[in-house]
Each structure stands twice: as C-alpha cells, then as structure tokens.
Chain A
Amino acid sequence: MSGVLVILEHKGGSYNRMSWEALAAGQQIAVASGQPLSAAVLVSNEGGSDLESFTGEFANKKLDKGYRVEHALLKDYTADGYISALEQFIKKIDPSFIVFPHTYQVRDFAPRLAARFGQVLLADLVGLRKEGDSFVFVRQLFQGKLNADYRHTGSGPCFVSVQAGAFRAESLEAGSASVEAFAPELDATAIRSKPEAPFREAAQTVDLSSAPIIVSVGRGIKEQDNLPMVEELAAALGGELAASRPICDNGWLPMERQVGSSGQTVSPKLYLAVGISGAIQHLVGMKGSKTVVAINKDENAPIFEVADYGIVGDLFEVVPALTEAVKKAKGA
C-alpha cells in the first residue's frame, strides 16, 4: 500500500474545477508523505480517439502517473458502476490515500466505496497537515461553528474528500505524466439504478452572477412578512435581492434568487448578508465576493469568518437604520 491517488470528476468531458483543488490536496499529501502521486478519471471508452485529448489536460500536471478507468458502462454516472470500477482499480494500484473533490456525485458514492474497504470517508476536509508519522485531517462540525481534527486509524487505505475552495488549484505544479488505461469488469445487470438525463427547471431570469451589489437574506428574518424590510435596503443600495436556501425552500423568494451550492455562485463588489448564519452550502456560493458585510445576532456565526465588516445585532433594528443611512448618504 503506497501512493496518493486523486479521483478527478468531469461532466461530459469538461472537468469540475474542484477536481484540481482535490489534486492540489493530493499533491500536499504526496509531498508531505514522500509518496508518488497519481490521478484517475472514469470515462466511457465508446468515444474512441477523443479520450486522448480528454486525458491530456491532466497529463500536463505534475503527476507520477495518470489513469483512465474506462468502460462503456461508465458513460453515465451510477453509484453501482463507479463503485465497482473504482473498487477494482484501487485494489490493483493499492494506494495509501484516495482523494476526492467533495462534490454531490462524490457524496453519492465515495462513502459506500470506502465502506467496501472497511474504511470511513473523511468527508469535506478544510485542511490537513502532517504531525509525526501521520496526518491530521481538519473538518467542520455544527455547520462550521466548530472545527475538528481527525486521524485515520484504520489499517486500510485512507479515503478523504476536500471542500470546495479549501485547497488552491492555482498552486498546482505543471509537469507531464503518462496516462495508462485500466479496464474494469462491469456487468450491466449489477447496475441497479437507471439515470435519466440531467435537466434544469424553468429558465433562470435573474442572473445574480452579474449583479455588483447583492443583499442576501437568511433564516434570521423569521417571517415572510419581514422581507420588505430587506427589499427596501436592497433598493436603497441599488442591489439585487438574494437569499439562502431555507428562504427559497419556504417559497418566500423564488429558487432563482438562491445563492449557494444548490443555487447561484456570485462574486459581487458588495455582498451584504442579513440574518445568514453562513453554513458552508451558502458560503461556497458567495466566498468570491469582493467585500462581504454580515449582520447577525450571533457573534459566533460562521458568516463572520468570511466577512470584511460585521455588525453583531438585531437585524430588525439594524436593517431599517442602515436603509435610512444609505438613503441619506445618497441624498435621496
């Protein structure tokens, strides 16, 4: 058992950017442990020659080895197909660490794959470091309110997945790697789920990604009837109104105004978060904002982790005061 293996994710041939962040985490483990680094991608081999150019993109990263796990039954993602293919592949190359990006797809199959090796996936890591002979893996608890250091104490391979944005893809070193194909044996009858083509619901008419100012509201607003107060602030600032998931789940605002992993990803000049605690699912959608302002009654709310300016207070008092102050400053 030796080496670090990173499993890259792609959709129809284009890589998920989190794949490169996972590779950066893999590089960090490889360097710290002095073990070789390899990466693999699961593909359908029905495409023929396209495969070469497709794997080219990771062959120019600094890797000791690249692998294409290929089979016609890997064309569409299924948990059964991916788990069976990766189980065979991992048994063959016998790595000590297997690193995934913590995507929705990985959440679907990686825990089950790890269980097949008698292991538990260390999911959604925000950091890692070597201490003595082993690694400490850092993940968040209680929706980001606390951090926890974990250690892998099992005797089998160590499975980890890394949180979006926790490792920097820019730090990846370039290089060249040879890419080898691996053909798992898959049986169509053992793939129990039948996936249909992915789809989007109604076309989005609100494009939050281009808005320079966003005022976003969360659970702290308590009732739908309180929303106009935040709308007024957004209007005074000339910004778009957005929300965290619970607000859209309740139907208080349309889904297309949702920011976060299941909604839109935004990077405005100003992101003003009102009554949003800052669960990671929300943070991944707005971390790229140039300036973040947070108004929240809980001084330990994780939203303050990413805020440039913070006001700890009752939003029902602060927001109307802020709206007035903005109007005054604008001379309206």
Chain B
Amino acid sequence: MKIIVAIKQVPVRDSTLRIDSSGKWIDEDDLSYEINEPDAYALEEALQLKEKHDGEVIAVLAGPERGSQTIREALAKGADRAIHIECDDLASLDTLGVASRLAAAIKDEKADLILTGLQSDDLGLGQTGVVLAELLGIPHATIIMQVEAGDGSIKVKRELEDGWFQHVQMPLPALLTIQSGISKLRYATLMGIKKAKTKEVRRIAAGDLPQAATPTVTLARIYLPEKKKETQMIEGSPNEAAAKLVEKLKFEVRVI
C-alpha cells in the first residue's frame, strides 16, 4: 500500500503571536515551528497502516526551508521518503492554490491512499485535503477516527456531531482527513533519527509546478478579536484571587 501524508508546519502551540507590520500575517521571526497536530495523527495512521499491510509512506510538505525540520522528524518516525515543495509564498495563496501545488507534486506517485489532518492549527480552514481529492478526482471522507484497509477498498469510521459515528466504505485510491487523538503518537527512535539522514527528500521548486490560479479569496487584515463579553479579571496572589472568586461565586453567581 502506497500512502502519501500531506503535512503542514505551524507555529508551536502556545506561541505568543504578534501581528506583523503589513497587518496581514503574524511576525514569524521569533517563532518556533512544529508539525500541525492533526497531521501528526495522519502520519501516525499511515505508519500503522504500513505496519499492517506493508508498502511505503511518503510525506509531502509545502513551505519554506524551515519545513525541512518537520520533514526530517516525519522521516525519523518512519516515513520512507519525502517531497518538499519549496515556497515562501504560502500566505498569498488560497486553498485552491495550495492544493493545486500538492496535487501537481504527487499525482505521478499514484498513491493508494492520501492522508492529512482534518484542519490546520493556524488557518483552520479544514479544506485542503477535500479540495486535493477533488483535484485528483478521487473519493474522500473527513474527520476519520479509524481506517480498515481491504482489497482495493477501505472502510472508515467518520465522526459526526454530538457523539455519533458512521462507517463508510469507498474504493481506493481515496483521500481521508484524520481526526486528532485517534491513536497514540510514536516518538522517533535514535535509530530512526539516524536512518532519516539517508532517506530521500525530493525538492520541488514551486516555480517548476504549474502556475497557481489567481486567489479567489484574499486575507485583508488580521487583528485581535474584540471582546464581546465583559470579563471581570480577578487579580492578586493565588490565595487572594481564590478568596475573591469565592465571594463572587457566593454573592453574584450564588452557587455556594
């Protein structure tokens, strides 16, 4: 089974975000980056499927040079090889632009299965995978909790709202977006880290891929959200704050 996992690099969770001088994106200078969390689960699922059914796992990432760190980590965890679409202009593309690059870079691989996380922690659009499936002309399913691979087809467990689930069967090749937390993430072993250095990373310059279409949606400005609710911030040492809060709970909220 040949599996491609599309991964994205995003600022580490809990980063302090500052808006840059253009007002259109965050200041990236002092940030550290990591694999987008749902994509880490997509990679894990791919590695587990490979362990069960044999085959190959190929990680694909679009992004600037710093993305090679995230690629190395994926290789160290067990991906067999990787494709790095090198580009500095991701922020100026819309989903169709990003998905077209991914599609162009992987279509000749003729993978059986393409996995990606259900959404990114930065933009949170949750649609790159779905649009990629459209561009490749293959079926897809989203928010997947479980994958059982059969002969030429797969059966997946989709998460619906409010604690409901559904099994869906579809032919391969197919694309799935994976939900976070569906299994335990593995750590890279020392051996894995060593081996990663010898694994193939195919670098593709974005300029060598077909030109992306003009974006149909554009980000005009980013800003801190305005507070809709009046929040009473309670100050003081932990003991003081606790005592003040208890007063509020007693006399204003009336739950004590």
Chain A residues packing against B (C-beta within 8 Å): 79-80, 103-105, 107-109, 111-112, 115-116, 118-124, 136, 139-156, 192-201, 204, 212-213, 237, 245-246, 248-250, 255, 261-265, 269-270, 277, 290-291, 293, 298, 300, 302, 304-314, 317-318, 320-322, 324-326, 328-330
- 24 example contacts (A-B, Cβ-Cβ < 8 A) are as follows A79-B139, A103-B161, A108-B141, A115-B96, A115-B130, A146-B26, A146-B222, A146-B224, A148-B222, A149-B222, A150-B218, A153-B217, A192-B171, A198-B166, A204-B163, A250-B181, A304-B231, A305-B227, A309-B234, A311-B233, A313-B241, A321-B238, A324-B242, A325-B246
The answer, yes or no, to whether B191 is at the interface (CB within 8 Å) is: no
Beta-carbon contacts under 8 Å, B192-241 to A? 213-225, 227-234, 238-239, 241
Could you say which of B170, B214, B241 has the most chain A C-beta atoms within 10 Å of its C-beta? B241
Is there contact, CB below 8 Å, between B122 and A318?
no
A228 to B144 Cα, complex, angstroms = 32
A103 to B162, CA, bound (A): 11
Chain B residues whose C-beta falls within 8 Å of the C-beta of A313 in the assembled complex: 238, 241
Q: Are B248 and A119 in contact (CB under 8 A)?
A: no
Interface of A is mostly: mixed
B168: chain A residues within 8 A (beta carbon): 193-196
With contacts defined as CB atoms under 8 Å apart, how many contacts are there between chain A and chain B in the complex?
A: 257
B26 to chain A, nearest CB (A): 8
Which chain B positions have C-beta within 8 A of A200?
A: 163-165
Question: How many angstroms from the CA of A154 to the CA of B216 in the assembled complex?
Answer: 4
State how many angstroms separate the Cβ of A60 from the closest Cβ of chain B.
26
Does A144 lie within 8 Å of B225, measured CB to CB? yes
List of B residues within 8 angstroms of A305 by Cβ: 225, 227-229, 231
Q: Given the complex of chains A and B, what is the CA–CA distance between A116 and B143 in angstroms?
A: 21
Q: What 9 A-B pairs are tightest by C-beta distance, nearest first?
A: A249-B181, A154-B216, A111-B127, A321-B242, A317-B238, A192-B139, A193-B170, A322-B242, A325-B242
Kindly list chain A residues whose C-beta atoms are within 8 Å of the C-beta of B180: 245-246, 249
| Tally of B interface residues using CB under 8 Å | 78
Q: Are A153 and B255 CB-contacts (below 8 A) given A136-B220, A195-B168, A329-B250? A: no
Chain B residues at the A interface, C-beta cutoff of 8 Å: 11, 14, 16-17, 19, 26, 94-96, 99, 121-127, 130-131, 133-135, 139-143, 158-171, 180-182, 213-225, 227-234, 238-239, 241-243, 245-246, 248-250, 253, 255-256
Which of A111, A153, A154, A302 meets B130, CB within 8 Å? A111
Residues in B with CB closer than 8 Å to A139 are 124
Q: A107 to B123, Cβ gap below 8 A?
A: no
Kindly report which residue of chain A lies nearest to residue B93, judged by CB atoms.
Answer: A120
Whole-angstrom distance between the alpha carbons of A212 and B249 in the complex?
13
Q: Judging by beta carbons under 8 Å apart, are B121 and A122 in contact? A: no
Which residue of the partner chain, among B130, B217, B220, B256, contacts A326 with CB atoms under 8 Å? B256
Closest to B170 in A: A193
Q: A197 with B166: in contact, given A108-B142, A143-B124 (CB under 8 Å)? A: yes
Q: How far is the CA of A259 from the CA of B26 in the complex (A)?
A: 30
How far is the CB of A8 from the nearest CB of chain B, in Å? Answer: 16
Whether the Cβ atoms of B96 and A147 lie closer than 8 Å is no
* A118 in contact with B213 given A123-B127, A265-B162 (CB within 8 Å): yes
Beta-carbon nearest neighbor of B128 in chain A: A111
**A80 with B139, Cβ < 8 A, contacts A196-B166, A322-B242 known:** yes
Chain B residues within 8 Å of A262, by CB: 159, 161-163
Shortest B249–chain A CB gap in Å is: 7
Interface centre among A111, A212, A261, A277 (most CB of B within 10 A): A111
Known: A103-B161, A213-B255, A250-B181. A318 touches B225 (CB 8 A): no
**Interchain CA distance A329-B219 in the complex, whole Å:** 51
Taking a contact as CB atoms closer than 8 A, the residue among A197, A309, A321 that contacts B248 in the complex is A309
Report yes or no: B231 in contact with A141, Cβ–Cβ below 8 A: no
Q: Determine the chain B residues whose CB is within 8 A of the CB of A245 once the complex forms.
A: 180-181
Q: How far is the CA of A151 from the CA of B158 in the complex (A)?
A: 32
Given the known A-B contacts A192-B171, A201-B163, are A146 and B17 also in contact in the complex, defined by CB atoms under 8 Å? yes
User: How far apart sit A198 and B215, CA to CA, in the bound complex (Å)?
Assistant: 37
A147 lies within 8 A of B224 (CB): yes
Contacts of B99 in A (CB 8 A): 115
Q: With A and B bound together, what is the CA distance between A263 and B165 in angstroms?
A: 12
